[in-house]
């Protein structure tokens, strides 16, 4: 296991000038603070958001906060980058394709892709516009398709990195490939946990299939003030209010995964109090993530459902 400095925080990100990052779900919560600190360190950050109004409000807050250092633990960056708002609904494959096509047509290399957006514990089974169960469609299939579409831009980077944002509940997650859409059995928490295990399985399989990029996962622990809690019950909200950490600290594992000394196949989360809070640390993978056949089968099913095939050959190295 790698050792992460116990006092690692956003002030230690370093100089990200000339780097480009995409963060999905950047209008709030973990995504907002991940985008903010990458931009404060000098990166050009594409804040990919579903809701235009909330996205515009978040963009204004990002630009103001990047210069002011107004959040605890933030560093008044010496290398202020830039922020760009882009429309993306990861629960809609047409939106995913359109976003990727716009990015590929107007941008160069993509250095960091943070697959962060998600939904959690929807009370009753819902479908996306593509007919997928909403949690698997948003949390896994949409990001699977997005990553596949963006591979040409990742291939242009000298050190491309893909961060899959999972959850502590991935340790309890189960995936039934014969009921991937939860048609036979749906439970808000159980289905959510399965999608978070899918994030880790995707991270691992991507790293195996594309060793020329770094594929790593992270989870925020128990964190206050995220939109994921909108469907949580009173007990869940009370637990988080007592034991949870501030959202800017919950973003630290994602940030370390995006910029730290990491390798493909690694998982990062809070290093204290049973991974519920604390500075980022490398953590053990969920036991079910070691099932290679499950990972390969989930990949094949994801290709079939999304229609996206990955261009996995290594980039051609240009001669000096």
Which range is least confidently modeled, 15-29, 172-186, 271-285?
271-285
Give which of 122, 118, 128 is closest to 92, Cα–Cα.
Answer: 128
Per-residue pLDDT reduced to its tens digit, 164-219: 999 999 999 999 999 999 999 999 999 999 999 999 999 999 999 999 999 999 99
Q: Tell me, yes or no, if 192 is annotated catalytic.
A: yes
Q: Which two tokens stand for residue 258?
A: 């995006």
Q: Which two tokens stand for residue 296?
A: 């390969």
Catalytic residue among 171, 186, 192, 256: 192
The pTM is what? Answer: 0.92
> What is the CATH number assigned to the segment(s) 10-306?
3.40.50.720
Helix (H, G, I), strand (E, B) or coil at 53: helix
Per-residue pLDDT reduced to its tens digit, 109-133: 999 999 999 999 999 999 999 999 9
């Amino acid at each position: 296991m790698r050792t992460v400095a116990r006092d690692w925080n956003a002030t230690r990100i370093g100089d990200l000038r000339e780097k480009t990052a995409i963060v999905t779900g950047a209008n709030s919560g973990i995504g907002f603070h991940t985008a903010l600190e990458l931009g404060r360190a000098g990166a050009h950050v594409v804040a990919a958001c579903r809701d235009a109004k909330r996205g515009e409000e978040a963009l204004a807050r990002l630009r103001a906060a990047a210069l002011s250092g107004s959040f605890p633990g933030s560093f008044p960056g010496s290398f202020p980058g830039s922020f760009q708002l882009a429309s993306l609904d990861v629960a809609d494959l047409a939106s995913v394709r359109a976003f990727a096509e716009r990015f590929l047509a107007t941008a160069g290399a993509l250095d960091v892709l943070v697959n962060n957006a998600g939904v959690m514990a929807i009370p009753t089974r819902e479908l996306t516009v593509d007919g997928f169960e909403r949690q698997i469609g948003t949390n896994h299939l949409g990001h699977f398709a997005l990553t596949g579409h963006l591979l040409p831009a990742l291939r242009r980077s000298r050190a491309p990195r893909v961060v899959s944002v999972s959850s502590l509940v991935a340790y309890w997650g189960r995936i039934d490939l014969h009921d991937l859409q939860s048609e036979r059995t749906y439970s808000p928490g159980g289905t959510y946990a399965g999608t978070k295990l899918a994030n880790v399985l995707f991270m691992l399989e991507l790293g195996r299939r594309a060793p020329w990029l770094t594929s790593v996962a992270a989870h925020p622990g128990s964190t206050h003030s995220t939109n994921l809690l909108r469907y949580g019950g009173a007990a869940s909200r009370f637990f988080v209010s007592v034991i949870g950490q501030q959202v800017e600290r919950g973003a630290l594992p994602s940030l370390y995964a995006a910029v730290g000394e990491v390798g493909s196949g690694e998982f990062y989360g809070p290093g204290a109090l049973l991974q519920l809070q604390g500075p980022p640390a490398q953590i053990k993978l969920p036991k079910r993530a070691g099932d290679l056949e499950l990972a390969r089968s989930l990949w094949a099913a994801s290709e079939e459902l999304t229609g996206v095939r990955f261009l996995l050959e290594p980039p051609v190295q240009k001669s000096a």
